[in-house]
């Protein structure tokens, strides 16, 4: 009967006695997010379904008087984002068919309330995929919050970490409890992974995985509690793919003598790089100086260098004349990053490049038992970089016994116990410190006197008007 078919359909009910809804709309297509009207294949002959019975509420309507959560908001289509900002601003949004091929496209309801609090999440690259108007509404009516990757290493935060360990043990339900030594080792690893002095990492998913692996090892051995030994063993077992690849690369590099760790070589330096987020690798860098092919000298760098790396090469070229004292207008400087099949980004190889080039120009050998990392200013100051702990460990794995790092990074170093006796960490403040340690000149006293004269010189403007035109290929 027609009387039955015209009974109103309840779409959403959020009365005062109900708990405020929390709707997760992550990955929703337009119909699931904005509401839809189902297609009716029987549109005549008395078999049709009334339009109001085919209306389906979307996530924005079901979240009325509650919270709408969307992760990776940049995955929404521009059309969905435009409609979402309309719902946010107007507090209501009508439901219509989302497909023009559906009979539901002919149906459009009155505006349905959509007064909700939206929480959108995503990585930094998500901002690039967001509709500018939607982001403007968020900044106008709400907040943009950057989630830190670490937190200060305080007694209160350590207590929170201990509660996190207990939470992971309880959620797993099978692994044994952690004793004091195991918790201290977890906190030490949290400090190490933060890559920042006085901080604990907030990459809790990775830390949770380490906790479970340590517990599984303790359980496998029949231990009543998980100890520090189990955590240390878990760190060897639960390594990232990047860390495993790094070890494989270091081993093969030594086998085929791509990485040299003893003796001296002219124009060759062992640089250091980060692979992924928790591993390092040795980055051999070679330099050669030839007669210029053009009207003026250039720097030609190869190894799939990306934008920041290319800029760092230009900074290095700016100080070459200052530290060599030679006319380099008629020289071409060739720089090769060996084995960088995935490309090089960042400026942490600046002091390595500068040392290799100065070695090539002056024909002074470089110690191969020394590796180095650090950014370089145009005045020769060594600036801090990231990932120093992982870089030092990579050097130790490769058999290198001395590592030069920026003095500002010294307190960031927290290497594993098994590497401490294998490598000596030497902090440096400027390029003069680097050259004193890394280069092995025949007349060492004369070389040191030259460096002292450069250090006390006020002629930093020598870099201007040198006729040296850096470029990267």
- Alpha-carbon separation of residue 190 from 247, 338, 419 (angstroms): 22, 33, 18
Q: In 3D, which of 382, 379, 356 has the Cα closest to residue 463?
A: 379
Q: Is 65 a catalytic residue?
A: no
Sequence-distant (6+) residues with CB within 8 A of 243 are 275, 276, 278, 279
pLDDT at 461: 41
pLDDT value, residue 273: 86
Is 391 catalytic? The answer is yes
CB atoms within 10 A of CB 47: 9
Instruction: Count Cα atoms within 13 angstroms, Cβ side, for 323.
Output: 29
| C-alpha distances out from residue 405 to 80, 311, 367, 372, 430, Å | 49, 20, 16, 6, 10
**Mean pLDDT for each consecutive 10-residue tract of the chain (473 residues)?**
63 76 91 85 65 84 93 89 92 86 76 92 85 87 89 95 95 93 94 89 93 95 94 88 80 76 92 83 88 74 66 69 70 80 69 88 91 87 90 92 94 89 93 90 79 60 37 33
Please tell me the distance from the alpha carbon of residue 416 to that of residue 393, in angstroms, as a whole number: 8
- CB of 88 closer than 8 Å to CB of 118: yes
**What fold is seen in the domain 259-470?**
Ribosomal Protein S5; domain 2 (3.30.230)
Helix axes of 241-255 and 388-398: crossing angle, nearest 10 degrees:
40
Contacts of 376 (CB under 8 A, 6+ apart): 312, 315, 316, 319, 347, 350, 351, 354, 382, 383, 431
Q: Give the count of beta carbons closer than 10 Å to the beta carbon of residue 13.
A: 8
- In angstroms, the CA 245 to CA 242 distance is 5
Domain limits of the chain? 2-10+18-141, 150-238, 259-470
From residue 283, how far is each of 170, 246, 348, 371 by CA, in Å?
Answer: 43, 11, 11, 9
How confident is the model at residue 276, as a pLDDT?
A: 75
* CB of 317 closer than 8 Å to CB of 299: yes
The crossing angle, in degrees rounded to 10, of helices 132-141 and 78-90 is 30
Give the closest residue to 350 by CA, choosing from 380, 394, 390. 380
Rounded-to-integer distance, Cα 460 and Cα 467, Å: 16
Question: Domain spanning 150-238 has what CATH number?
Answer: 1.10.8.60
Long-range CB contacts (< 8 A, 24+ apart) of 141-145?
141/88, 142/118
CA dist 40 and 102 (Å) reads 8
Query: Which of 348, 352, 359, 375 is the catalytic position?
Result: 348
Q: What pLDDT, on the 0 to 100 scale, is given for residue 280?
A: 86
**Catalytic one among 321, 322, 391, 397?**
391
By three-state DSSP, how is residue 337 classified?
strand
**pLDDT value of position 473:** 30
CATH number of 2-10+18-141: 3.40.50.300
Contact in structure between 333 and 281 (CB atoms under 8 Å): no
Q: Is the dihedral of CA 215, 219, 221, 225 positive or negative?
A: positive
Q: Cα(180)–Cα(186) distance, rounded to whole angstroms?
A: 10
Q: In sequence order, which residues have a C-beta less than 8 Å from that of residue 380 and are 6 or more positions away?
A: 319, 322, 323, 430, 431, 432
Nearest to 88 by CA among 105, 107, 73: 73
pTM of the shown model? 0.72
């Amino acid at each position: 009967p027609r009387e039955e078919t015209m009974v109103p359909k309840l779409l959403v009910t959020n009365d005062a006695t109900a708990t405020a809804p929390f709707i997760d709309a992550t990955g929703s297509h337009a119909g699931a997010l904005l509401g839809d009207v189902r297609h009716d294949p029987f549109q005549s002959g008395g078999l049709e379904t009334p339009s109001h019975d085919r209306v389906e509420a979307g996530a924005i309507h079901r979240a009325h008087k509650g919270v709408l959560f969307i992760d990776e908001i940049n995955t929404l289509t521009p059309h969905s984002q435009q409609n979402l900002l309309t719902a946010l601003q107007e507090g209501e949004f009508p439901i219509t068919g989302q497909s023009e091929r559906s009979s539901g496209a002919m149906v459009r309801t009155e505006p349905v309330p959509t007064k909700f609090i939206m929480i959108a999440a995503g990585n930094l690259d998500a901002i690039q995929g967001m509709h500018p108007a939607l982001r403007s509404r968020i900044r106008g009516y709400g907040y943009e919050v950057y989630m830190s990757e670490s937190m200060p290493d305080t007694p209160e935060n350590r207590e929170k970490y201990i509660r996190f360990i207990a939470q992971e043990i309880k959620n797993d339900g099978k692994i044994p409890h952690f004793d004091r030594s195991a918790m201290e080792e977890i906190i030490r690893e949290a400090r190490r992974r933060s890559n920042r002095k006085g901080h604990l990492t907030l990459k809790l998913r990775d830390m949770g995985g380490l906790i479970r692996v340590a517990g599984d090892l303790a359980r496998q051995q029949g231990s009543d509690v998980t100890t520090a030994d189990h955590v240390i063993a878990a760190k060897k077992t639960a390594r990232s793919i990047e860390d495993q690849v790094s070890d494989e690369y270091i081993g093969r590099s030594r086998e085929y003598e791509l990485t040299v760790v003893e003796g001296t070589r002219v124009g060759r330096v062992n640089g250091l790089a980060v692979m992924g987020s928790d591993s390092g690798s040795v980055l051999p860098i070679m330099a050669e100086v030839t007669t210029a092919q053009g009207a003026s000298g250039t720097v030609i760098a190869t190894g799939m260098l990306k934008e920041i790396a290319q800029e760092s090469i230009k900074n290095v070229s700016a100080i070459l004349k200052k530290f060599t004292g030679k006319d380099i207008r008629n020289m071409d400087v060739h720089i090769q990053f060996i084995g960088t099949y995935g490309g090089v980004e960042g400026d942490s190889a600046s002091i390595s490049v500068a040392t290799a080039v100065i070695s090539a120009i002056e024909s002074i050998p470089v110690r191969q038992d020394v590796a180095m990392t650090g950014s370089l200013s145009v005045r020769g100051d060594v600036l801090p970089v990231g990932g120093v702990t992982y870089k030092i460990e990579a050097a130790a794995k490769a058999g290198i016994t001395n590592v030069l790092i920026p003095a500002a990074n010294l307190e960031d170093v927290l290497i594993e116990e098994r590497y401490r006796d294998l490598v000596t960490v030497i902090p440096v403040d400027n390029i003069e410190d680097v050259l004193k340690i890394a280069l092995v000149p025949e007349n060492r006293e004369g070389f040191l006197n030259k460096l002292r004269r450069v250090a006390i010189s006020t002629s930093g403007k020598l870099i201007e008007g040198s006729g040296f035109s850096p470029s990267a290929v």
